[in-house]
Amino acid sequence: MPLNKLLQKQNIDLVEAARESQVLIATFRAERTDDSVWDELYGKAVAMAEVQEVEPSKRRTARHQRHRGNVPADSISEYWKRALFSPFVDHLVVELEDRLVIANDRFKVQYLIPSLVHELTTAQEDAIFDAFHYDFSGDRESFRREVARWRVRWSLEETKPSDIGATLKDTNKTLYPDIFICLVVFITMPVSTASAERQFSIMRRVKNYMRSTVSTERMSGLAMLHSYRTIDIDIENIIIQFAGKKDRKLDFF
């Protein structure tokens, strides 16, 4: 699924993930009410069952059954649509909404992105301040004045960034300190657990029987090198930093 690959990218941000999730939610809801979609899916299931010599059937409907799916249906196809297909699609929609669409107050930072700042309301400003006020140096009024200057600045620009990474690059830390903090925290919020799961997979490859006694610090360094092996490293700079740590018998300079 394209969205699955998108959510597992290391450089994906919440704004893009939420935008694509809304597209997928609308698609799921449309397919849930489209009988042709279910008929095609059920036909494929019946064809697969014929290969395994399995006859399509449904569970017995009991009048007082409470511990399993007891869905009333006139046909086998209608039974599995009501008992399996519709609940599964509803579950997917709810999970996507809870994880990526209906977010907490920190997620409202997306409205500080220049392409969305015109949608920022006073209530959303207060919600952002309440979520980040422990990290801010000023009070609520100071944050509101900073946001007001932020609005004016991007109203004068024709080209406006539409993602969190580009916005962060164009944000002056000195002029907009509170907004800069919001963007830094927001860009580090994970979309999914793919990055953490990827690290566990790396650990199985890196920590083999020949490295059974490796220290935690060295193990973490090897995992980081393996995970971000595509990043170019300035070897000369590393040698300079290593040699400058303390006096050594070998002269590295």
Instruction: Give pLDDT tens digits for 60-90.
Output: 766 666 666 677 788 889 889 988 899 999 9
Query: Of 169, 188, 207, which one is at a domain's C-terminal end?
Result: 188
250 lies in a domain? no
Place of tokens 């290969």: 51
Runs of H (alpha helix) within the chain: 2-7, 14-32, 35-51, 76-80, 86-96, 122-132, 140-155, 164-169, 177-188, 194-206, 216-227, 235-243
Same-domain pairing of 84 and 170: no
The amino acid present at 178, given as its one-letter code, is D
**Is the distance from CB of 252 to CB of 242 less than 8 angstroms?**
yes
Separation in Å, CA 103 to CA 17, 27, 106, 191:
12, 21, 8, 11
40 in a structural domain: yes
**Cβ atoms 185, 140 nearer than 8 A:** no
- Residue-wise pLDDT for 166-199, tens only, equals 888 889 989 999 999 988 888 877 665 556 667 7
Q: What is the pLDDT of residue 65?
A: 62
User: Do 165 and 239 fall into the same domain?
Assistant: no
pLDDT of residue 241: 80
Question: Do 198 and 212 belong together in one domain?
Answer: yes
110 and 96 inside one domain: no
The residue among 172, 188, 204 that closes a domain is 188
* 248 in any annotated domain: no
Q: Is residue 239 part of a domain?
A: yes
204 and 122 belong to one structural domain: no
Q: What is the pLDDT of residue 90?
A: 92
| 221 and 168 in a common domain | no
Compare 12 and 21 and report the one with higher pLDDT.
21
Residue 215 lies in a domain: yes
Average pLDDT over residues 7-15: 58
Domain count along the chain = 3
Assess whether 115 and 178 both reside in one domain. Answer: yes
Q: Closest Cα partner for 30 from 102, 89, 114?
A: 89
The answer as to whether 177 is a domain residue is yes
Rounded Cα distance, 219 and 226, in Å: 11
Can you tell me the distance from the alpha carbon of 206 to that of 142, in angstroms, rounded to the nearest whole number? 49
Task: State how far the Cα of 26 lies from the Cα of 3, in Å rounded to an integer.
Answer: 14
pTM above 0.85, yes or no: no
- Together in a domain, 84 and 169: no
What range defines the domain where residue 52 resides? 2-59+69-101
pLDDT tens digits along 128-173: 888 888 888 888 999 999 999 999 999 998 888 888 888 888 899 8
Query: Is residue 39 included in any domain, yes or no?
Result: yes
Same domain, 172 and 115: yes
Domain final position from 188, 205, 227? 188
Q: Which amino acid is located at 66 in the chain?
A: R
Mean pLDDT along residues 28-35? 91
Q: Are residues 212 and 157 in the same domain?
A: no
Say whether both 150 and 213 belong to one domain: no
Under 8 Å between Cβ of 165 and 11:
yes
Compute the residue count for the chain: 253
- Domain assignment of residue 89, yes or no: yes
Residues 50 and 95 in one domain: yes
